[in-house]
Chains A and B, each alone.
Chain A
Amino acid sequence: MSQDQLALFRTEVSAWLKTHCPASQRQPIVREEQIWGGRRRVFPSADAKQWFEACRDRGYTAPEWPVEYGGAGLTPEQAKILKQEMARLQCRPPLYCQGLWMLGPALLVYGSEAQKREHLSAICRGEIRWAQGYSEPSAGSDLANLKTKAEDCGDHFLVNGTKIWTTKADEADWIFCLVRTSDASPKQAGISFLLIDMASEGVSTSPIQLISGESEFCQTFFDNVQVPKANLVGELNGGWAVAKELLKHERKMMAAFDGMLEKPAMSLLELAHYAVGVDQDGRLGNSELRSDIAQHLMREQAISQLGERIYWQGKAKQSDPRLPLLMKHLGTTETQTKDELILRALGDEGLSMEDECVPEGLRKMVKQWAFNKALTIAGGTSEVQLNIIAKRALSMPTSEVKS
């Protein structure tokens, strides 16, 4: 597409957004007002519903997916422009959904035509909310050790076992799962990828209380659940390839989640000024904190510069495949550094998540500090990321223990 065509597209998109996105939906997102869709979806306001439906009807909930599956069929350049214009106009993301970020991209690669038709447009239209069923109590970083069993019973699979860290499984309609279909060795070769309706008999969930006081995650139990054979994605025992495709999208999402999360009440610098004030030269009052904040801001900036480098390399067909491997570890670690700086600056006000004498916005930041401890664990721990970097980026020799 020529530069002129892209410029025209930008003008059109911008005009469309201005017409269809109500002012109330051009405010920074707050968590309670995120639209997650699903059979039990409720909209926080008429404006939110109108904005969601406008995007849905134009395919903008999944801009890059093909039109026949409910997307808008945009090229990556066009999608980037849409994203930029939405950010510029502060439009809220129309839909949040694991189906959109993770399952969909994998189905586009591995799904059958029937599966794509059944599931993709239901995702784009916000009709079905998905949960992810990967980890198990005994299969975390060693995901291939999973034990949830799907037994071949002729016309269906009989599923027994349990999945953990299933985000919002209690509110999800369907769950995509990795299940064991064979005891073959290596362990990866006996895993299949299965789609399960949460309304099936024998599925139950129980929330997990986190150190941040929230319970985003659940444990999900499968007790003699019958699953139609048509719900198998990819080959029988070929689920590991689908899982890897999907994890790629999860890591990408976790590295670039920023604009979609609730904005904190104050930026780090605002908060530091609020907490420690300024000295006689008008500079942040605590010189050690000042230096550590500068260090953090430089690193945060460098992470986005690394992102830009990856982008420009891709555009010039000079991609260095090692660089994207670094983003998850660097990004999540730096977010935690920021959280620690916030806690340090807050001092006494940072010691409680519940004390109502402390402004709610600040308590939310303290909760976020605790919640973000999960960032370096979920989606491949930092230790696993470093293993991958050593192996694939630095080609270091592998030991006898299987990684």
Chain B
Amino acid sequence: MILNAEQLMMRETVAQFFAERAPISRLRALEHEPIDISYDVELWSDMVALGLTGITVPEVYDGLDFGWLGLGAIAQEAGRCLVASPLLSSVVMGQNVLLNCGSRAQIERHLPAMLSGDSTSTLALDEGRAFDPESIVVAERAGTMSGRKIRVLDAPMCSLIFSVARRESGELGVALVSADSRGITASGRRLMDLRDSGSVVFEALQTETIEWLEGLDIRGGLQKTLDQATAVLAAEMMGTAREALERTVTFLGEREQFDVKLGTFQALQHRCAQMYCELELADSAVAAALVALDHDAPNTSSLVSSAKALANDCLTLISSESVQLHGGMGVTEEMDMGLFLKRSRVCNQLLGSSSYHRDRYARLNGF
């Protein structure tokens, strides 16, 4: 459950890189960009140059094979700076749905461009108000595919879209389509955390333009992909939570009222200590989930659900408390704390809320 020397070094490098190159001010700059711009392309190409597209990719496919625990550590560092990038959409979701659901030929055809940064991809899954991978309606019928996908991360900027859809036979499939195909409209939607999660509309998309992934176990591969993405998002959330708590503790150690530092008040100390307990608790669950992914453990899905539910609750608590403990400053745009709060609520809805994961955990454990 701890990082090896190479992973530690990678984390240090990445932490320094994000601190220098991706401060929160850079995220705020996105607000003034057109709505279709969901991340800073220059920042992204530097991330590619650092090798971040290949962290978990096996060496046979020219990846670094640093493992999920390694990628989790990088996601944590990204979370500290609230970095907007296609790390989750393309590197985790897109690449892995290809690796888990694609045939060897398909992987060899599409993966190299993703690793080199020449193409980015995303996974179009959600259709309704809440995350629910079991109810997919978008389907191929009589030679065309129509329907609407929402909460598609970085939708307008990616070149390839992996869309979960029903095949003519009624079976679940993953349709790989080029984003510029006729019959596809990808539109951006700026969420309150300044990230982009748009929609993809298929309108009589011709079946000939679809490349169905041909792996042997689409359902299993999809579940694995979602587990991987959920664990990495939970790790990112832990970085966000850790940063918020550290900023709050620092603030309380500096701010004076009633002639003393606010941090001397026991009521506030206990709230911070409680948050710290929740942080390390959730972080342990996240580490266990990442390790399980690295070992392909049989109870991985259960551990992932546990990690996401605890990460949701932990970041919800820490971000709310951090705004409160910053006092009046906490609710101003001058401070960044509001962004941590908003990011937390967006993360809660991505890849499953706490109630979704508690229910899934119960189901997986026979109750």
Contact = CB atoms under 8 A, between A and B. Distances in A.
A390 B358 contact: no
Contact of A302 (B261, B285, B355, B358): B285
B280 interface: yes
Interface string A288-303: 0011011101110111
A297 B310 CA distance: 11
Contact of A318 (B2, B261, B272): B2
A56 to B, nearest CB: 37
B266 A387 contact: yes
A330 B2 contact: no
B139 interface: no
Interface string A301-337: 1110110110011001010001100100110000000
Contact of A386 (B253, B261, B274): B274
A295 B358 contact: yes
Interface string A234-275: 000000000000000000000000000000000001001100
Q: Is the interface of A mostly helix, strand, loop or mixed?
A: helix
Contacts of A396: 249, 252-253, 263-264, 269, 272
Interface string B265-293: 11001101110110011101101100000
B270 to A, nearest CB: 4
Given A272-B367, A273-B367, A295-B309, A301 B285 contact: yes
Given A301-B285, A302-B284, A302-B306, A294 B274 contact: no
A293 B367 contact: yes
B359 interface: yes
Contacts of B367: 269, 272-273, 283-284, 290, 293-294
Instruction: Pick the most buried of B265, B277, B285, B287: most chain A CB atoms within 10 A of its CB.
Output: B277
A251 B84 CA distance: 43
Nearest to B269: A390
Contact of A387 (B269, B280, B284, B305): B269
A394 B355 CA distance: 31
B1 A308 contact: yes
Interface bin, chain B: 35 or more
Contacts, number: 123
A256 to B, nearest CB: 16
B276 A399 contact: no
Instruction: Pick the most buried of A295, A322, A393, A396: most chain B CB atoms within 10 A of its CB.
Output: A396
A312 B1 contact: yes
A87 B270 CA distance: 37
Given A302-B281, A303-B281, A387-B273, 4 more contacts: A330-B281, A386-B274, A394-B272, A396-B263
Interface of A: 269, 272-273, 283-284, 290-291, 293-295, 297-299, 301-303, 305-306, 308-309, 312-313, 316, 318, 322-323, 326, 329-330, 383, 385-387, 389-391, 393-400
Closest 4 A-B residue pairs measured CB to CB? Answer: A390-B269, A399-B264, A389-B273, A306-B284
26 contacts: A283-B362, A291-B358, A294-B362, A302-B281, A302-B285, A303-B281, A305-B285, A306-B280, A306-B284, A309-B1, A309-B2, A309-B284, A312-B1, A322-B280, A326-B281, A330-B277, A330-B281, A383-B270, A387-B269, A387-B270, A390-B270, A393-B276, A395-B253, A396-B249, A396-B252, A399-B264
